[in-house]
Chain A
Amino acid sequence: MSNSLAQLFAKCKSENRAALIGYLPAGFPTQRSAKKIVKEMIAGGVDAIEIGYPYSDPVMDGPVIQAASEQALSNGAGAAEVFELLASSVQLGAPSLVMSYWSPIEKYGIEKFAKAMNDAGGSGVITPDLTIEESAAWKSVCANNKLDRVYVVAPSSSDSRLPLVTEQCSGFIYAASLMGVTGTRDSVSGNASGLVARIRKNSALPVAVGLGVSTKEQAREVAAYADGVIVGSAFIKIIQKHGAGRKGLKKVKELARELSEGVRNVK
């Protein structure tokens, strides 16, 4: 596990809380604004940052992140923006990862991608559509470059399948709270706590829960059983509604603060 992620989860554990992980696609709404948004997220209490690599065919994403990705792509966002935003997030002191569909990583070259991650100070890569069966080359490249490999598991993962995936993870395990795509939901699915319990039977790694978390109450609910709470669409929705000017940035920071209160004192 990368030092910074390990330290973060250890620190959170000692503080009796879950880590708050915030997601933002590179280049959204512009690269300049993205840097400011990440800064506000961290200032408000987000512990770790996931930089999304905008992709043309994001099958795991709901309408909010789809629209954000399309906007970022139309601004010309690509690998350069991903690594630049990653580096700026790391410089602000937050352990930072990249979340990317497999196509851009493979096209970039997996060795080169891992090196660029290292150069930017990134901790690891979340790959939502890379199956463990297709991971052989990626596994050795990440090991050589000391990058964490984070796979996303789902409530539909069988008891026999689950340990096969979690044993391939390092850093943490990303548990999808429900069967569906990213986006804000009125309630967090009851499947999530059951999935986390099933993961813990086989793995000692921290477990972070994502998909559908957008409010302080939901963060509190998830933090009671998970080691990390991942929030993406809720931040993006603020920018889509209020823009990335002073008002939008202020609201991003407010949401980060509320969520970070949610993940505290729950254990």
Chain B
Amino acid sequence: MTLQENQSTLLGHFGPYGGRFVPEALIAALDELAAAHESALQDPKFQEELTQLHKTYTGRPSIITEAKRFAEYAGGARILLKREDLNHTGSHKINNVLGQALLTKRMGKKRIIAETGAGQHGVASATAAALFGLECVVYMGEADTKRQALNVARMKLLGAEVVPVTQGSKTLKDAINEAMRDWVTNVADTHYLLGTVAGPHPFPTIVRDFQRIIGVEARAQVLELTGKLPDAVLACVGGGSNAIGIFHPFIDDKAVRLIGLEAGGSGIETGKHAATISGGTPGVLHGTRSYVLQDKDGQTVESHSISAGLDYPGVGPEHAYLNDIGRAEYRAVNDDKAMYAFSLLCKTEGIIPAIETAHALAGALEVGNELGKDATILINLSGRGDKDVQTAAEYFGLAL
């Protein structure tokens, strides 16, 4: 590695993406966090503590389920589901949260703040705060507190304070703004427990490192089960944490296609979507350079998706880079296709997925038909759908 490359890595760049675009007030905290993460990576005790937590609290390793009946609709391809929905708190978010909670302890901070869209990251953060005795404040767009009311109640039961954000579009983007403002003000005793692989360096790297366990486990599990690597690995992409978690350990396996499914909302052509890579342009948002949904003046454009967890106008910088170098591909799945796949998994496999995850399942129906019956497709089943029952019932017109 040349000095220049080393310097670039230190600043958290992925090609032209990533970096830090934040008020100077936060630099000391970001440096402290990067140093804590670096030292934790080298510390066997830290790794052992996290591994034990995952074993005895998260429920890792998560299992692989073969979806044979669902596969009939996916061109007969072999469909393998990595069951992150079976983790404690119901999604992959806990992987990152426990890691960062241990880092919070290591830095001697007593308070965590978090943003949440669907509420999965907020619930996971509130859970970790309860487990470690930390004060926890979760910022959530007011619109999201309404469509994810169940998760708001869960966070409160776990002892967290939930602050509805009424500015701007009242969704995840604005929750992040408000969390950043809190952090600028209270940075001395507060850790911002960011939930996705976006934001300023070192967040995209830290969150990826804590989510890699998904791909590390899945790669070994698929090899054991099938004797070979999968032909394609699929995951939904909002900010991109579950996708980078399962993609990353496969990056050097050049024959394995990595496919991210973004939220196409009502369709990219309508402008009402959250498909940042498929329908956005390079720009700066929330402290990092990546693809962004923005207008000609650099103002962020509101995103739209039936899935609160994917309803974000930015995306992690490493995904932007993987897209540009052609190592991963990104496709948009619109609301209707996602909801069809949601219903199909419920009825063919007895698994209610999160609506976020349903975008990856819809992608699998498409990719399976393209690759045919000899292909093996690994899907990150990133979360369970209990929280989405209300939304799904409304969508399908079920009387409650």
Also in contact, A157 and B24, with CB within 8 A (given A56-B299, A107-B283): yes
Q: Give bound CA distance, A32 to B25, whole Å.
A: 35
A7 on interface, CB distance cutoff 8 Å: no
Closest to B10 in A: A133
Determine which of A107, A130, A158, A181 lies in contact with B21 in the assembled complex, contact meaning CB atoms within 8 Å: A130
Also in contact, A107 and B296, with CB within 8 A (given A59-B23, A154-B23, A156-B29): yes
> Are B298 and A161 in contact, with the CB atoms below 8 A?
no
A186 on interface, CB distance cutoff 8 Å: no
Q: Give bound CA distance, A79 to B295, whole Å.
A: 12
Closest to B179 in A: A59
Q: Give bound CA distance, A129 to B188, whole Å.
A: 19
Also in contact, A105 and B19, with CB within 8 A (given A60-B184, A179-B184): no
A180 on interface, CB distance cutoff 8 Å: yes
Also in contact, A154 and B24, with CB within 8 A (given A62-B181, A103-B298): yes
Using a CB–CB cutoff of 8 Å, the interface residues on chain A facing chain B are 55-60, 62, 66, 70, 73, 78-79, 102-108, 128-131, 133-134, 151-158, 161, 165, 176, 179-181
CB distance from B182 to the nearest CB of A (A): 9
**Which residue of B21, B180, B286 has the most chain A CB atoms within 10 A of its CB atom?**
B21
Residues of B within 8 A of A180 (CB): 184-185
**Which residue of B167, B287, B299, B300 has the most chain A CB atoms within 10 A of its CB atom?**
B299
B177 on interface, CB distance cutoff 8 Å: yes
Closest to B298 in A: A107
Closest to A176 in B: B25
Q: Give bound CA distance, A59 to B176, whole Å.
A: 9
Which 7 residue pairs are nearest across A and B when measured between Cβ atoms? A107-B298, A154-B25, A104-B298, A103-B298, A180-B185, A59-B180, A56-B300
Also in contact, A129 and B23, with CB within 8 A (given A105-B298, A156-B29): yes
Residues of A within 8 A of B300 (CB): 56-57, 103
> Are B28 and A158 in contact, with the CB atoms below 8 A?
yes
Residues of A within 8 A of B180 (CB): 59
Residues of A within 8 A of B294 (CB): 103, 107
Also in contact, A131 and B22, with CB within 8 A (given A57-B286, A59-B180, A106-B284): yes
> Are A103 and B23 in contact, with the CB atoms below 8 A?
no
Also in contact, A131 and B298, with CB within 8 A (given A57-B177, A179-B185): no
Within 8 A of A (CB), among B173-211: 173, 177, 180-181, 184-188
Residues of A within 8 A of B292 (CB): 103
**Chain A contact residues, majority secondary structure:** loop
Number of A-B contacts (CB under 8 A): 112
Q: Give bound CA distance, A179 to B188, whole Å.
A: 9
Q: Give bound CA distance, A103 to B29, whole Å.
A: 23
Residues of B within 8 A of A58 (CB): 177
Q: Give bound CA distance, A102 to B292, whole Å.
A: 14
> Are B27 and A161 in contact, with the CB atoms below 8 A?
yes
Q: Give bound CA distance, A78 to B299, whole Å.
A: 9
CB distance from B340 to the nearest CB of A (A): 33
Closest to B186 in A: A179
Also in contact, A131 and B185, with CB within 8 A (given A66-B167, A104-B298, A107-B296): no
Residues of A within 8 A of B287 (CB): 129
Residues of A within 8 A of B186 (CB): 179
Determine which of B29, B167, B185, B296 lies in contact with A181 in the assembled complex, contact meaning CB atoms within 8 Å: B185
Count class of interface residues, chain B: 35 or more
Residues of B within 8 A of A156 (CB): 24-29, 187-188
Task: List 30 A-B pairs, Cβ < 8 Å.
Answer: A55-B299, A56-B168, A57-B177, A57-B285, A57-B300, A59-B180, A59-B286, A60-B23, A66-B167, A79-B297, A102-B21, A103-B283, A104-B297, A104-B299, A107-B298, A129-B23, A131-B27, A152-B23, A156-B25, A156-B187, A156-B188, A157-B24, A158-B28, A176-B23, A179-B25, A179-B184, A179-B186, A179-B188, A180-B184, A181-B184
Closest to B8 in A: A133
B351 on interface, CB distance cutoff 8 Å: no
Residues of A within 8 A of B173 (CB): 57
Also in contact, A103 and B284, with CB within 8 A (given A133-B20, A158-B28, A179-B187): yes
Closest to B286 in A: A57
Closest to B25 in A: A154
Residues of B within 8 A of A181 (CB): 181, 184-185
Q: Give bound CA distance, A134 to B21, whole Å.
A: 8
Residues of A within 8 A of B283 (CB): 103, 106-107
Annotate B12-36 by CB proximity to A: 1 below 8 A, 0 otherwise.
0000000111111111110000000
CB distance from A240 to the nearest CB of B (A): 15
Determine which of A62, A108, A131, A134 lies in contact with B24 in the assembled complex, contact meaning CB atoms within 8 Å: A131
Residues of B within 8 A of A70 (CB): 167-168
> Are B284 and A59 in contact, with the CB atoms below 8 A?
no
CB distance from B26 to the nearest CB of A (A): 8
Annotate B77-120 by CB proximity to A: 1 below 8 A, 0 otherwise.
00000000000000000000000000000000000000000000
Q: Give bound CA distance, A108 to B180, whole Å.
A: 25
Residues of B within 8 A of A176 (CB): 23-25
B158 on interface, CB distance cutoff 8 Å: no
> Are B286 and A131 in contact, with the CB atoms below 8 A?
no
Residues of B within 8 A of A130 (CB): 21
Within 8 A of A (CB), among B272-312: 283-287, 292, 294, 296-300
B371 on interface, CB distance cutoff 8 Å: no
**A128-B23, A151-B24, A181-B181 given. 8 additional CB < 8 A pairs?**
A57-B285, A78-B299, A129-B22, A129-B287, A152-B24, A152-B25, A156-B25, A176-B24
Residues of A within 8 A of B23 (CB): 59-60, 128-129, 152, 154, 176
CB distance from B300 to the nearest CB of A (A): 4
B11 on interface, CB distance cutoff 8 Å: yes
Residues of B within 8 A of A155 (CB): 25
Residues of A within 8 A of B297 (CB): 78-79, 104, 107-108
Residues of A within 8 A of B299 (CB): 55-56, 73, 78, 103-104
Closest to A59 in B: B180
